[in-house]
């Protein structure tokens, strides 16, 4: 019998085989491998959350009363924090935002540990009752799979980015069994300016990931439900839901980001864990709907049933009031979970909040004498919140239909989602994922010019060929420096290297030819203070705005302490812009 080939040699042979393929075939083959891998990761995450949740549920059976929910989420936060501390060793929360950051700042490079650390930590967080979603962590996991597989084969930046999108799309398709929504989410939220040719690998990834999900979890939609056929007389009520969904999404986005800023100022990790764990536990004790992802409650609502609100009896208006309270407090429960050491995203809480809002609107309307189907409104509310929070109306529409099989509600889904998206854009231009990146000027957008500028590095365009002189030098010594250089400008710096001013040779030509004044004038007499300058590392889009505002051809570049680093010229910037644009176009062929 022949000896078995060692695993390392077999994997090396497979890698060599793939590397020798033409570039297009590499991408297509890898898109399938990445899709299957992302689908398996999604199946593993769903199983882990269910397994841990069953264990937590079994523990509660042996304890009387509801008090265990006060401490159980904190245990999950602690375990998740330990995974992050000892294995990830970096912040891995906000998975979708981190994918965007990787594409905008890091050449689509995502560290290998992200192929499993987000999966494990989020399953611990959610399994023990953390009030977050699993979708953002699994999107980050899928994107990491795509990034690392592509770099392992040696693909270029454009194709690495395509494989990152394939991994993200496959992961979402795998966890929701929604292949079309996976593609749309990647196009609307993650990838910008992608060629039609790149759609094929993404579709291969989502279909292969969905097939894996069907094998392990069946072909039934995740939120299969029986809905009431749409009737035109309910359009005004869906308009109300769309407007409230828009306002609710603005509340969701702004309060989330504000609370994150508040908790980020707390220095002590242990202090945050104690306070957040107790706060989350108390919220869940009062409002059981806030436990975990809340998808069991969503399924109940879509079947026309009222989930466990934690309150019984009283006025009929108690139900909508409790639902409103849950909607408003979900943001706090989600932020407490993440700030306390948990790992989870806003995707799931957005869907949950949308279902709660839809049921709140329907129940309130029915108490006022209307006759609207509550399950329908819960379903459409999910799409409305998603369109407003994520600024992705197409993803919202098709994800909800694939999740529920609710194609008979396509008209209200389209109408309500577009209303929510349009109204929310009046108050919030960016999604919850992109707002912080947009504020830093590093967001890739659908604007081709801005996207190209975002891919450019300011620091790579700095030129330090220009002479430097001291403000105390005489014009005679300055003239000697100028005679030995063909530079059009000269930087004037002090002894510490800080910029004092600049001298434009064209402006002082008369002084330079008048030798009688060379000994009496100093450089400080002929230099001018720069009206504007560029800071090292400044986003290129901001640099372009400065050039336009100052009507300048070149500007000095300083570090954060005012030290002179060189000049950046508009001609060099435009040449680099053409190079980046040419590379993008050639990579997409």
For residue 22, give Cα distances in angstroms to 26, 28, 489.
6, 10, 49
Q: How many Cβ atoms are within 10 Å of 330's Cβ, its own excluded?
A: 25
pLDDT exceeds cutoff 60 at 587? no
The domains of the chain, with CATH numbers, are: 7-217 (1.10.3080.10), 232-442 (1.10.3080.10), 453-587 (3.10.580.10)
d(C-alpha 180, C-alpha 225), whole Å: 20
Q: How many Cβ atoms are within 10 Å of 532's Cβ, its own excluded?
A: 11
Mean pLDDT of 361-377: 94
Mean pLDDT of 490-494: 87
- What is residue 5's predicted lDDT score, i.e. its pLDDT? 40
CA angle in degrees (0–180, nearest 5) for 77-80-85: 120
Mean pLDDT of 351-369: 95
d(C-alpha 78, C-alpha 274), whole Å: 10
d(C-alpha 94, C-alpha 264), whole Å: 14
Average pLDDT, rounded, for the chain = 84
- The answer to whether 512 touches 475, Cβ cutoff 8 Å, is yes
- What is residue 588's predicted lDDT score, i.e. its pLDDT? 47
3-state secondary structure of 202: helix
- What is residue 106's predicted lDDT score, i.e. its pLDDT? 64
pLDDT exceeds cutoff 70 at 350? yes
303-312 long-range contacts (CB < 8 A, ≥24 apart) are: 303/225, 303/226, 303/375, 304/226, 304/373, 304/374, 304/375, 310/286
pLDDT exceeds cutoff 70 at 60? no
Of 291, 311, 294, 290, residue with least CA distance to 302: 294
Mean pLDDT of 451-457: 58
pLDDT tens-digit map of 155-167: 877 788 889 999 9
pLDDT exceeds cutoff 80 at 469? yes
d(C-alpha 195, C-alpha 198), whole Å: 5
Length in residues, the chain: 589
d(C-alpha 244, C-alpha 87), whole Å: 42
pLDDT exceeds cutoff 50 at 61? no
Which residues are registered as beta bridge partners of 567?
463, 556
pLDDT exceeds cutoff 90 at 379? yes
Which residues are registered as beta bridge partners of 568?
555
Q: What are phi and psi of 568, to 5 degrees?
A: -120, 130
Confidence of residue 441 (pLDDT cuts 50, 70, 90): low
Of the chain, the percentage scoring pLDDT greater than 70 comes to: 87
pLDDT tens-digit map of 236-294: 999 999 999 999 999 999 999 999 989 888 877 888 899 999 999 999 989 989 998 88
- What is residue 3's predicted lDDT score, i.e. its pLDDT? 42
pLDDT tens-digit map of 172-218: 999 999 999 999 998 888 765 556 667 889 999 999 999 999 999 99
Confidence of residue 6 (pLDDT cuts 50, 70, 90): very low
Which one is predicted more confidently, 115 or 569?
A: 115
- What is residue 459's predicted lDDT score, i.e. its pLDDT? 67
pLDDT exceeds cutoff 80 at 321? yes
- What is residue 211's predicted lDDT score, i.e. its pLDDT? 96
């Amino acid at each position: 019998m022949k000896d078995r080939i060692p695993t390392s040699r077999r994997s090396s042979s497979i890698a060599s085989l793939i590397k020798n393929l033409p570039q297009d075939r590499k991408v297509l083959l890898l898109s399938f491998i990445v899709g299957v891998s992302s689908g398996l990761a999604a199946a593993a995450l769903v199983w882990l959350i269910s397994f841990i949740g069953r264990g937590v549920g079994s523990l509660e059976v042996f304890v009387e009363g509801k008090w265990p929910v006060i401490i159980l989420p904190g245990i999950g936060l602690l375990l998740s924090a330990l995974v992050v501390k000892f294995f990830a060793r970096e912040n891995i929360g906000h998975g979708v935002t981190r994918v965007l950051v990787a594409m905008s700042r890091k050449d689509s490079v995502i560290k290998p540990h992200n192929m499993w650390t987000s999966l494990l930590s989020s399953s611990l967080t959610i399994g023990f009752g953390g009030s977050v979603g699993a979708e953002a962590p699994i999107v980050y996991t899928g994107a990491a799979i795509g990034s690392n597989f592509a770099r392992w084969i040696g693909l270029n930046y454009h194709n690495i980015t395509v494989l990152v999108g394939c991994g993200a799309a496959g992961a979402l398709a795998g966890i929701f069994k929604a292949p079309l929504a996976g593609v749309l989410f990647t196009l609307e939220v993650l990838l910008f300016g992608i060629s039609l040719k790149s759609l094929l690998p993404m579709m291969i990834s989502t279909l292969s990931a969905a097939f894996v999900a069907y094998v392990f979890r069946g072909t039934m939609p995740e939120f299969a439900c029986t809905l009431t056929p749409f009737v035109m007389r309910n359009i005004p009520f869906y308009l109300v839901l769309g407007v409230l969904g828009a306002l609710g999404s603005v509340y969701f986005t702004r309060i989330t980001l504000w609370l994150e800023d508040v908790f980020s100022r707390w220095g002590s990790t242990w202090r945050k864990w104690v306070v957040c764990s107790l706060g989350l536990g108390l919220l869940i004790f009062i409002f059981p709907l806030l436990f975990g992802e809340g998808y069991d409650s969503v399924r109940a609502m879509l079947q026309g049933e009222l989930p466990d609100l934690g309150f019984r009896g009283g006025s009929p208006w108690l139900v909508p009031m409790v639902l409103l309270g849950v909607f408003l407090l979900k943001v706090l429960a989600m932020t407490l979970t993440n700030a306390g050491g948990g790992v989870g995203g806003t995707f799931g809480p957005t869907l949950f909040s949308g279902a709660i809002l839809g049921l709140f609107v329907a129940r309130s309307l029915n108490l006022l004498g209307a006759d609207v189907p509550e399950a329908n409104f819960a379903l459409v509310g999910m799409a409305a919140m998603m369109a407003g929070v994520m600024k992705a109306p197409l993803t919202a529409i098709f994800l909800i239909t694939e999740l529920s099989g609710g194609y008979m509600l396509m008209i209200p889904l389209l109408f309500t989602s577009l209303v929510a998206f349009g109204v929310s854009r009046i108050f919030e231009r960016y999604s919850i994922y992109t707002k912080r990146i947009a504020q830093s000027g590093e967001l890739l957008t659908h604007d081709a010019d801005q996207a190209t500028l975002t891919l450019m590095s300011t620091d790579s365009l700095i030129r330090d060929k220009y002479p430097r002189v001291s403000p105390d030098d005489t014009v005679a010594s300055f003239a000697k420096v100028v005679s030995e250089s063909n530079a059009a400008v000269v930087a004037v710096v002090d002894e510490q290297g800080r910029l004092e001013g600049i001298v434009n040779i064209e402006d002082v030509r008369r002084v330079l030819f008048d030798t009688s004044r060379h000994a009496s004038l100093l450089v400080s007499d002929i230099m001018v203070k720069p009206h504007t300058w560029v800071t090292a590392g400044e986003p290129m889009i901001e640099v372009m705005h400065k050039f336009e505002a100052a009507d300048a051809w070149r500007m000095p570049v300083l570090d954060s302490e005012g030290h002179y680093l060189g000049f950046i010229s508009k001609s060099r910037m435009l040449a680099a812009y053409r190079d980046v644009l040419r590379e993008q176009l050639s990579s997409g062929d």
